[in-house]
């Protein structure tokens, strides 16, 4: 399979029952819906899909279901926490249908200064499984880490690394990453993970987007990115304003609530039956739910009378 990362890679939500167990029927329906919106790939078992709260066996099962429903390439979230655990995950995720790995920062990185050998050896071991790797720079507010430039260069030099998801939510750091990648000896695809400046990321140098907001308003983001690539700048900007309006609401503080907000949007749109999340995550208030419906109407996804 040719892995095309230059477009929208939707990080998907995971439908759940009230007790927090996986709603397999709801997952099949949702994946069918999002696949119809034509993203270039799906990011499965990542933060948006509550991956950190799932067991290894549940992650394998989710990948199997997604692989049964669609032939769109799958980028599987992978998060150690040890090297041996990460390699086991990589092997079993590949067997379950993964086409690439998004390699999360792990607790072993939380040392200042970080010894560059730690992330390099970790990624090298995962790369031996044989699937493409996507590096992940993630804002600390979502339990991530912003790497030093020397560390990013060393990680990007690993054979098998094909892209980096830059999700610092910091435009200045994003631009610095763009310049760093331009100086590398081989091309590395830059994926924005910055849901707080989506279209602007492409203006600054991204060629793809791997974002949680891709779970909703998916078609509009696919069209926005294509318009930008085709040089239809005014059209891209109009779509970008609509997309960013809802994204800013979904990713408002506390940013960790973005998962349940995405599910609430999908419930309002009739895509999901419920917005249940797994504890310790919690739901939102009726007042916030009504506000989300109002913004869905404002951006043209929902009739104002319905909202």
Contact call for residues 307 and 297 (beta carbons, < 8 A): yes
Look at residue 1 and tell me whether its pLDDT is greater than 70. no
Using pLDDT thresholds of 50, 70 and 90, give the confidence band for residue 304: low
Burial class (CB in 10 A: 0-12, 13-18, 19+), 131: buried
Count Cβ atoms below 10 Å from residue 148 Cβ, excluding itself: 13
For position 141, what pLDDT does the model report?
77
> pLDDT tens digits, residue range 105-144?
999 998 889 999 999 999 999 999 999 999 999 888 777 8
Specify whether the CB–CB gap between 162 and 135 falls below 8 A: no
**Percentage of residues in the chain having pLDDT higher than 70:** 98
Query: Closest Cα to residue 48, out of 70, 30, 73?
Result: 30
Question: Distance (Å, rounded) from C-alpha 26 to C-alpha 272?
Answer: 7
Q: Residues with Cβ < 8 Å from 54, sequence gap 6 or more?
A: 14, 45, 62, 278
**Separate counts of helices (H) and strands (E) for the chain:** 11, 8
Q: pLDDT tens digits for 53-94?
A: 999 999 999 999 999 999 999 999 999 899 999 999 999 999
pLDDT value of position 306: 53
pLDDT of residue 143: 76
Give the pLDDT of residue 144: 83
pLDDT digits (tens, 9 = 90+) for 226-263: 999 999 999 999 999 999 999 999 999 999 899 999 99
What integer is the mean pLDDT of 272-291? Answer: 96
Residue-wise burial string across 77-99, b where 16 or more C-beta atoms lie within 10 A, e elsewhere: bbbbeebeebbebbebbbebbbb
* Rounded average pLDDT over 36-61: 97
Within a 10 A sphere around the Cβ of 154, how many other Cβ atoms?
A: 16
What share of the chain has pLDDT > 90, as a percent? 92
d(CA 232, CA 240): 12
Residue 162: strand, helix, or coil: strand
pLDDT in tens, 168-217: 999 999 999 999 999 999 999 999 999 999 999 999 999 999 999 999 99
Q: Where are the alpha helices (DSSP H) in the chain?
A: 24-36, 56-69, 83-96, 117-127, 149-156, 171-182, 198-204, 218-229, 233-250, 258-268, 286-298
pLDDT band at 307 (very low <50, low <70, confident <90, very high): very low
pTM: 0.95
- Return the pLDDT at 112: 83
| Chain length of the chain | 307
State the Cα–Cα distance between residues 192 and 211, nearest whole angstrom: 7
In this prediction, residues 131-159 reach a mean pLDDT of 92
**Tens digits of per-residue pLDDT, 87-101?**
999 999 999 999 999
Q: In the predicted model, what is the mean pLDDT of residues 29-34?
A: 98
Sign of the four-CA dihedral 78, 50, 20, 99: negative
Instruction: Report the CATH superfamily, name and number, of domain 8-230.
Output: Aldolase class I (3.20.20.70)
Handedness of CA 91, 96, 102, 105 (dihedral sign): negative
| 89 close to 55: Cβ distance less than 8 angstroms | no
């Amino acid at each position: 399979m040719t892995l095309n990362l230059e477009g929208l890679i939707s990080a998907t939500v995971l439908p759940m029952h009230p007790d927090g167990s996986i709603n397999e029927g709801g997952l099949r329906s949702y994946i069918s819906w999002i696949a119809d919106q034509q993203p270039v790939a799906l990011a499965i078992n990542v933060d948006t899909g509550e991956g950190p709260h799932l067991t290894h066996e549940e992650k394998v099962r989710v990948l199997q279901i997604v692989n049964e429903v669609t032939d769109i390439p799958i980028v599987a979230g992978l998060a150690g926490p040890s090297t041996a655990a990460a390699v086991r995950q990589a092997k079993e995720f590949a067997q379950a249908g993964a086409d690439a790995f998004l390699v999360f920062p792990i607790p072993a990185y939380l040392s200042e200064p970080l010894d560059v050998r730690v992330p390099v050896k970790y990624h090298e071991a995962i790369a031996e499984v044989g699937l493409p790797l996507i590096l992940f720079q993630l804002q600390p507010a979502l339990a991530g880490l912003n790497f030093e430039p020397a560390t990013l260069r060393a990680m990007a030099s690993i054979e098998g690394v094909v892209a980096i998801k830059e999700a610092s939510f910091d435009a200045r750091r994003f631009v610095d990453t763009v310049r760093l990648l331009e100086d590398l000896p081989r091309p590395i695809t830059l994926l924005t993970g910055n849901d707080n400046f989506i279209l602007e990321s492409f203006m600054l140098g991204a060629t793809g987007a791997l974002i949680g907001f891709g779970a909703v308003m998916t078609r509009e983001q696919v069209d926005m990115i294509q318009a930008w690539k085709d040089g239809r700048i005014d059209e891209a900007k109009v779509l970008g304003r609509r997309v960013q309006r809802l994204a800013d609401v979904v990713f408002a503080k506390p940013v960790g609530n973005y998962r349940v907000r995405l599910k609430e949007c999908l419930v309002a749109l009739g895509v999901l039956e419920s917005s249940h999340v797994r504890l310790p995550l919690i739901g939102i208030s009726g007042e916030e739910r009504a506000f989300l419906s109002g913004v869905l109407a404002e951006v043209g996804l929902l009739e104002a009378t319905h909202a």
